[in-house]
Amino acid sequence: MIKFMTGFSGLDLPHVIMILIGLGFIYLGVVKKWEPYELLPIGCGMVLANLPLTGIITQPAPGLGPGQAGVLGIILKYGLYQWTILPQFIFFCIGAMTDFSPLIANPRSFILGAAAQLGIYFAMLGAVLLGFTIPEACSIGIIGGADGPTTLYTTGILAPQIMGITATAAYSYMAMVAIIQPPIIKALTTPEERKIYMKPMLRPVSRTERLLFPIITMLLVILIMPKSAPLIGMMMVGNLFRESGVVPRLSETAQNSLMNIVTIFLMLGIGASMPADAVLHTKTILVLVLGLVAFGIGTAGGVLMGKIYCKLSKEPFNPMIGAAGVSAVPMSARIVQHMGQKENKQNFLLMHAMGPNVAGVIGSAIAGGYFLSLFMK
């Protein structure tokens, strides 16, 4: 007798809720045009992952017959959970896309980028207090770096069971920088400090410096923190491709085609990592709140370091720039520029803020590398 089951027989309330959330993401991406490159594929992945009896998120495993592993399951296993190659490729592409000149011209931006990682560690402590295991707490803390690929890479290895939530939190908070950061910046600075004028231009950076930067960063960071190699190493290789000028086709591919291809797999994978049973529990709300706290404390850490600079520096220094130390590139730098212009029309802080902004990417990758070195052999 022929046995046939429709999907309706497996449909239950949690799956319906997740499908509706997925459709909501698609609506926001398509109709409201909010971060469509992220929300549309994440929403699609979420809907597909929650349709019953499809097997589309079944991961390859010994004993499975031909065709039994689903396409999203294959992306999850090799891209995000076990081999975690997608975040590493994203880092390669980011390296090829990033101009580190503002950081090279003003190396003290490194310290602002470091201070803004404070949120990662505070949120990690908070997560432990709330009963999460230490690997889970590290994965939640890393959301505070506002660095999607680092969050994915760290969580994929340390706590894949909360991957969907940490990834969504990281990307959502990155998209909500304009809402989260300004109140924190305003609360920690006086109107006089926000008005501080800085010369708009930084010193020119030579090609030699731009070539030496990825090599020095790669060697120093990886020698101190070997487990950060998959992130820092890939990013600096991508940047060296860009700055060398001798492989324009490779650099161009990394910046465009490869970035787009990896983004498709990555975002579909994030959506697919959210089947109802992995998301609909109280832990999810805690992760979202802790991620927000991490992001807020990271911003505060950067601004407070900016205030210290403001007091110590011989040149005028606008402390708002510190807020760009979280690695939401370039959104955080744009927020600082926007707020600076609002307070003082003569002020162009964008290039000053880009330094800590790209330093933040390096800082969060180092933090991620440290967490991994605690648990990986």
Partner 1 sequence: MSGNFKEALEIFGIGFGLVIFIMVALAYIMETVGKIVNKFESKKKAEVKK
**What does the alpha-carbon distance between residue 361 and residue 366 come to, in Å, rounded to a whole number?**
9
Q: Residue 12's CB: how many other CB atoms inside 10 A?
A: 9
Q: Which residues contact 73 (CB under 8 A, 6 or more apart)?
A: 55, 56, 57, 58, 59, 60, 272
SS3 160: helix
SS3 189: coil
Output the CA torsion 66→72→74→80 (10° steps). Answer: -170
Question: Closest CB to partner 1 among 221 and 270?
Answer: 221
Question: Closest CB to partner 1 among 105 and 351?
Answer: 105
CB of 68 to partner 1, least distance (A): 39
CB of 363 to partner 1, least distance (A): 6
If one asks whether residue 359 binds partner 1 (CB under 8 A), the answer comes out as yes
If one asks whether residue 240 binds partner 1 (CB under 8 A), the answer comes out as no
Site string (306-345) toward partner 1, x via CB under 8 A: ----------------------------------------
Where do the DSSP E strands lie in 95-171? none
Kindly state the tokens that stand for 322. 């510190």
Closest CA to 322 of 298, 346, 348: 298
308-343 burial by CB neighbour count: b if 16+ within 10 A, else e? Answer: ebbeeeeeebbbbbbbbbbbbbbbbbbbbbebbeeb
**What does the alpha-carbon distance between residue 3 and residue 243 come to, in Å, rounded to a whole number?**
60
If one asks whether residue 118 binds partner 1 (CB under 8 A), the answer comes out as yes
If one asks whether residue 114 binds partner 1 (CB under 8 A), the answer comes out as yes
If one asks whether residue 290 binds partner 1 (CB under 8 A), the answer comes out as no
Site string (125-154) toward partner 1, x via CB under 8 A: x--xx---xx--xx----------------
Instruction: Please list every residue from 201 through 230 that binds partner 1, using CB under 8 A.
Output: 205-206, 208-209, 212-213, 216-217, 220-221, 224-225
Question: Closest CB to partner 1 among 41 and 363?
Answer: 363
**What does the alpha-carbon distance between residue 6 and residue 292 come to, in Å, rounded to a whole number?**
40
CB of 142 to partner 1, least distance (A): 11
Candidates 25, 81, 92, 110; binder of partner 1 (CB under 8 A) is 110
Candidates 113, 164, 230, 269; binder of partner 1 (CB under 8 A) is 113
CB of 364 to partner 1, least distance (A): 9
Residue whose pair of structure tokens reads 């009896």 in the numeric block: 53
Residue whose pair of structure tokens reads 């926007």 in the numeric block: 338
Binding site for partner 1 (CB under 8 A): 103-105, 107-111, 113-115, 117-118, 120-122, 124-125, 128-129, 133-134, 137-138, 205-206, 208-209, 212-213, 216-217, 220-221, 224-225, 359, 362-363, 366-367, 370-371, 374
